[in-house]
Every structure is written in structure tokens, then in C-alpha cells.
Chains A and B, each alone.
Chain A
């Protein structure tokens, strides 16, 4: 069966008719991974959109160094059972993997299926769930949803064992519908009650799913108007078949990758593609990231960065190497403690990231990153200052272009230039001061 090409706002940009500039390359990289260095932007600019997207969407081999560090960190997390070690392991992947879009979507799915180690209390179970998210990151949401309903960490998180024949516990069924597949208002209380019965006996033993036949209710249930001796798997398929399911997912994907307030037309268009591809994520993401909608100028700099995007993005943009522990601590302070979301709803994102306190902390992150080595190292930025053009205007233009999604207002640019012109110290000191200022700007919070 061939699938029709997307049209309308999701039609692919015709790059014969439009210039693929550094701005487009930067936009794509900031959305598809955690920030981008000047070299990466240059490379993607040179490669062009088709080659870049193909690389982002297809599995890339990891380097030997990466694989060695990855397995070492993972083994440590398994041996110690420490949540901090597990977080350090993932942070290393998020930052260093040769498959950045896969990692970004893994974080997206972790947030979608928000599960916390605070309750699960097993680095092994959390790692298994994380592996499922990664395997299906650019795989199939259908398989992912099915997998999650039989995931050990998830079953611990949502009290699967409390769901017994004659004592159905609605928690699991409710979250599947409300948070994982459909969103509020797209099911009835009766659907939940009946679905809960279908999941009775879906228990967890030693952090593994097991079907406790004695506790499974084999009676007749009716979910979304379909009647039969339904089991959990059938309920998952019924959820996926609901009209609301691709719409729910489309809204979340648009918010995470395109713009904070998608219109009805955008949601409908992306939902149609999710349906057309039967939730095959590589195909859907490929179309989305190539679309007129994604590359439209109105989407630039519209998403408020989450803590991972902020911290890892800054480090990546400045050719840094994160200190895995302290950067995790910063992300947690800023509200995103990976493997440990505060509630089953995950991180709501957007303006919910921002309070006056978190903005001060974001500015302090900029101060610490540019002024100390607590958070890792950034490449000494004086090379460029020694280069051809050291005029304040050129330096400021270079770094605002690297770090900000849109050009700053004229007065802001002038303020930055006047700082750089008057600052004392050597080239590196002056640039570090400038970077501190740029990253403390409200504009830097957007991507």
C-alpha cells in the first residue's frame, strides 16, 4: 500500500525555490537535538536538508569512545542502583549520542509516559523502560503504547498489582486514556471502568510483567461501544483506533517540535499523517521536519526551552563537555529531573518552566557556565577574538547568531556591543562575559 504524500501546511518545502541558509540549519538542529555548535550548523548548512534529515532519522553508528563510556556508566548505574548514576548515564547519551533525534524523542516519550524512579526504586526497571522509549523513539507509537502497558516500571508506577478481579483499580486504565492515548474528555467514566477490568491481572513481579490469570476478569466488557471478553491488548488497540488518539499525539508533537500553540488545522493535518503511517514515527517526524509548517518563519524562536534544551543546548553551542552530575543537578533545580518527573502528568512545558526563581537560576547557570568549570568546560572562546574581525559588532553578531533563535532587538545588540567594547581582560575573558550576558537574556530562553 502506498501512502499519499502530505499536502497543505505539511507539504515538504521545495528547496529549489527557497534558500537553505544557516538560519534554517540552526533552526532544524535546535529542534531536532539539544543545541548545535557552529561547526555542526556549518556542516548541516553544507549538507542540505535532505541529507541532514536522512542522517537524523536513520540509525547512526556510535563511536567506540561513546560506546565504552556508555556501557561503563550504565553498568555503574545497575551496580550501585543509584538514581544519580542512572541520570548521569542518560545525560551522557542525550549529549554525546550520534543519534540525537532518537535521544530527544526518548526524552519526549519519557515525559509522555512520565514514570519516576522515586516510586519505582529500580535503576534496572527504569533503564528497561528507557530502552523501550529509545527503541520506539523513531519506531512505532503503536508498539510503544502496547509495550508500556506491559512495562515493569510502569506497572509499579501505576499500581498494576492493585488491579484485581472483582476489585478493579482504575488508575492504570485512566492514565492510559487520559495521559497516554486520548486526553481528557475523549472517553467516558464507563469506558475507564470497563477498561480497568480488561487490565485486571496485568501484574508485576520482580519488576517484570506477568499475567496473573487468577486475577484477570474474563467477563464481557464494553469499551468505546465494542463489546466482548476484551483483554488489555484489545483495549490498547481500541484506544489507538479512536479519532482522538492521533490528535492527542499530534498536539504534543507540535508543541514539542514546532510551536507552542498549534491551531486546529495543524493538529488535524499532523493527526492525519500519524494515522496514514499507522503511528510510524520516523515517517511522521521526517515529514514534519521537512514541512512548510516547520520551516515557516513564524515558528522560529517560539518554543520556551526546557532545562535539558537550555543546559545541554548551551554546552553544545559552545563546544562544551558537560559535567554529568552538576548539569543534572542544574536541570533538576530548573524543574526537569530526568527519570524523576514530579507527577504522572510529566513536565507541562512552555510557560510552566518559567517562574521568576527559575529565570534567576537560568541566568545563574549562564554565569556558572561562563565563569567556572563546575558545569563542565566550554571551549576557550578566544580563538575567534584573535581572528580577523575583533570589532565588537562582529563578535556580538557572531555569538548572538550562534545562541539566539532570532536576531536581538537593536538596543539589546548595542548594549552587548558596548559591554564588549568596554570590558577589561583578555579576549577570552571579554567573550566569556559577553556569553554570560547573552545567555541571561529572555531571548535565550526561546528556541
Chain B
């Protein structure tokens, strides 16, 4: 049963000035006109800035059946039931092919938008979902628990650039993903746009307007400390500002083509709506869950890859129609790949190294690194040759133009994106 107490009240589209007033910034009267000029300037900067979409494949995607080394006899030998036949893969070259359900990614490859980074992982791989996902999010494999995530630290380091706007946004998650947890900046978590609105309550229009303005003013953070009250003020301010911006986008956007009616399809359509509206964030986080395929993997994995490929293809077609496919990059990651040898339940167990996809019209399509050697395994799992933090460093420095060392707490050799 669902309550409808979050319904949108009419008349929430407002001008920029109206929205600034609603968030209480103008009403405080403490801000010089210079602020407005600067905000406009920043909005312009955000329009030119690159956008990164992090797509989490939760549960441990079977990379080996995603980008398939179809020419390797060892692959067919270790995957007698689950192996995808040479004739069925969507061939990328003589060695590699995509899973037959990844037609969407195959088209993006043929259009020159898809890059694959092979053999990504980290030393002493952990095979627990929670722990390994934490490692990918924190980028600190040796720390048991961390207060912030890699992107959170990156945003903290680049905080000066975001004054007055939200640097990142997590869509469709219940919690803020650790990767985006920061110390200085606050990142909103939007479960669905419909629920991400302030309802106005009851009363006449004048009182409602006044209350709406006052809710913003009362939320404003005075203190810059880190008490729970400061945290509540900061989060509330971010929430209200973001809700205002989102409210203004909902009517303007139309997808260029219909998206698939899948969970990921709908989430990426929402992302496209937010990106085309240019409400500020440069980093978006979405997740596709269900990759923990211990038994009867074939059907479930095929469905997930179909959902992935179809949604990403529609997303980039839409972005292209809006002239944004060169400004946006989507990067996939998963906490680990899966065991090379299939198990006795027609599934696969937790493994180690796997691939990452990068999709964008703004970089040159490429396959980075070799497929991990199927004859040289680590306890039955693929060995990595590229540390995921090298990929993070590459994304931060070459795509977002943010320093990577504060985020990764060290220097990592980058890939050449070109």
C-alpha cells in the first residue's frame, strides 16, 4: 500500500529567480548581486563540463560470459554448459565477442562509442560481496571501513568548483553509495523523481508560498561544523535545492526514442532527463542488481545483459539526439567477476578480475589490455593486470579534469583514452 502524500502540487515551475527566492537565498538578503552573476557563470561551466555516469553491476557480473574469449579452447573446456559457442557470440574481433544478448553494446561498438578495459581488479582480491564492493567504492583495499568514497574525496578536493551546485547525484538507490560519500560536499540520493519533491501542504496560495520559502530558509546551514545538526541542515538544503531544480525539469524533457520498459531503461531515461536539464551534477550513480548467479545462470545472466545493452543503447541514442553523447561517459563496474570454471549448479561462484565498459562519443573506441590468461589463474579466478584505481585515475584526470591523487590517495598510472 502506498500513500499519495508526495503528490506534486501544481504551479511549481518557477523562473530561476523564483527558485532562488524559494530556496531562501535571496530572502536572506545577505548575498550581493555578484552571487547571481557567479551562479550563472557556474551554470555555464557545468554546461561545458564533462559528465560521468557510474553504472554498478551489483552481485558480481560474470565478465567471462560478457566479453567472451571465443577463440580460447580453455574457455569452452571450463564452461562446458555455460560457455557461449563461437557461432553465437557477437564478434568484436578474432579473439573476443560479446554475449548474444548484448546487441545494444554491439551497436555502440560498431558506432565507435564502446571501449572495453580488460583484466581489471586489485591485489589480494576479496570474494565477499560487501567487502569487495566496499573496496571498489572506497578505493582503499587495505582499510576495513572508511568514512568516504573515492568519488567523494575527488569532489571534496574539487569542492571549490561546485560552490552553489550539487556535484553528484545517486539515482534509484535507498542509500547514498559509499563511492559518493564525501566530507565537504553533500550528494543527494534520489529514489525516484516522483518522490523527490516537497509537497506544499494545505492552505491558501500565499501561505503555501511563504511556507515553501521558509522551509528552505529554515533548512539553511549556518554552521560549517560536522555535528548531526549541521549534517541535517546541509542535507536538507541540498535536498530542497535539488528538488526545486528537478521540479523545473519534469515538463521540458522528451526522450528522442522510447526506452526499454526495464528498470535500468527507466533509470537511464530519468538520468537523461536530469542531464538534458543541466541541473548541475557532473557525476551520476545508478545500479543494476542481480548478477550473483550461483545457479541456473544462463537465463538470468542473459536477461540482465539484455537489460544492460538495451538501456545503454537507448540512453546514448537519446543523448546523441540532444547533442550530449560527447559530453557524457558511462562507466560500468562490478565488485568482482566470477570463477572461470562453472560450478555444479549450472552457475558460477565469486571470482576476481573482470572488464569495465566505457561508453561515450567523446573518446576513441578501443579495447584496452589483453584478456586475462585462462591458463594462469589465481585459485581458479582470472588475474588482473589493470588496477581499478588506474581506471579511476584516468576517468578523473582525463575525463572530469579533476585531480586524482586526493581521491585515490596515491598516484596511479593512467590508461590512454585519446
Residues of A within 8 A of B (CB): 84, 260, 301-302, 304, 325-326, 329-330, 333, 335, 342, 350-352, 354-357, 359-361, 363-368, 370-372, 374-375, 409, 411-412, 415-416, 419, 422-425, 429, 432-433, 436-437, 440-443, 445-446
Contacts and interface: CB of A to CB of B under 8 A. Distances in A.
Contact of B231 (A335, A354, A419, A424): A354
Given A354-B231, A355-B176, A419-B210, A360 B3 contact: no
4 shortest A-B CB distances, which residue pairs?
A: A371-B202, A356-B239, A368-B5, A367-B201
A423 B215 contact: no
A423 B197 CA distance: 23
A355 B189 contact: yes
A422 B187 CA distance: 35
A108 B114 CA distance: 50
Interface stretch (B96-104, B217-225, B289-297, B354-362): B217-225
B347 to A, nearest CB: 18
Contact of A357 (B196, B215, B222): B196
A306 to B, nearest CB: 13
B380 to A, nearest CB: 21
B198 interface: yes
A367 B214 contact: no
Interface string B177-204: 0000000001111110001111111111
B239 to A, nearest CB: 3
21 contacts: A260-B228, A302-B228, A352-B175, A354-B232, A354-B235, A356-B187, A357-B239, A360-B197, A360-B243, A361-B6, A363-B236, A364-B197, A367-B199, A375-B5, A422-B210, A424-B207, A429-B207, A440-B215, A440-B219, A441-B218, A441-B219
A325 B1 contact: yes
Contacts of B174: 335, 342, 355
Nearest to A367: B201
A25 B176 CA distance: 36
B282 interface: no
B207 A359 contact: no
Most buried by A among B189, B190, B191, B236: B236
Given A351-B231, A364-B5, A442 B189 contact: no
A333 B196 CA distance: 12
B23 interface: no
B189 A357 contact: yes
Contacts of A342: 174
Q: Which of A330, A367, A368, A443 has the most CB of B within 10 A?
A: A367
Contacts of A374: 3-5
Interface centre among B1, B2, B215 (most CB of A within 10 A): B215
Nearest to B27: A415
B269 interface: no
A343 to B, nearest CB: 10
Nearest to B223: A409
Given A424-B207, A425-B203, A425-B204, A356 B232 contact: no
A445 B190 CA distance: 20
A234 to B, nearest CB: 29
Given A351-B228, A356-B188, A370 B201 contact: yes
Contacts of B242: 356
Nearest to B191: A357
Residue among B204, B211, B240 facing the most chain A CB atoms (10 A cut-off): B211
A374 B6 CA distance: 12
A368 B4 CA distance: 9
B300 interface: no
Contact of B235 (A356, A361, A365, A409): A356
Given A330-B5, A357-B188, 8 more contacts: A356-B189, A357-B190, A367-B199, A374-B3, A422-B210, A432-B203, A442-B218, A442-B229
A429 B186 CA distance: 35
Contacts of A355: 174-176, 188-189, 235
Interface string B1-45: 111111000000000000000000000000000000000000000
A359 B202 contact: no
B206 interface: yes
Contacts of B201: 366-368, 370-371, 433, 436
Nearest to A328: B1
Contact of B222 (A360, A409, A424, A433): A409
Nearest to A363: B198
Contacts of B115: none
B70 interface: no
B106 interface: no
A415 B229 CA distance: 18
Contacts of A442: 218-219, 229, 232-233, 235-236
A365 B3 CA distance: 10
Contact of B218 (A301, A364, A440): A440
B313 interface: no
Contacts of A412: 218
Contacts of B132: none
B362 to A, nearest CB: 29
Nearest to B243: A360
B235 A419 contact: no
A437 B215 contact: yes
A360 B198 CA distance: 6
A350 B229 CA distance: 11
A415 B1 contact: no
A439 to B, nearest CB: 10
Nearest to B208: A433
A14 to B, nearest CB: 30
A356 B202 contact: no
B138 to A, nearest CB: 17
B65 interface: no
A333 B202 CA distance: 21
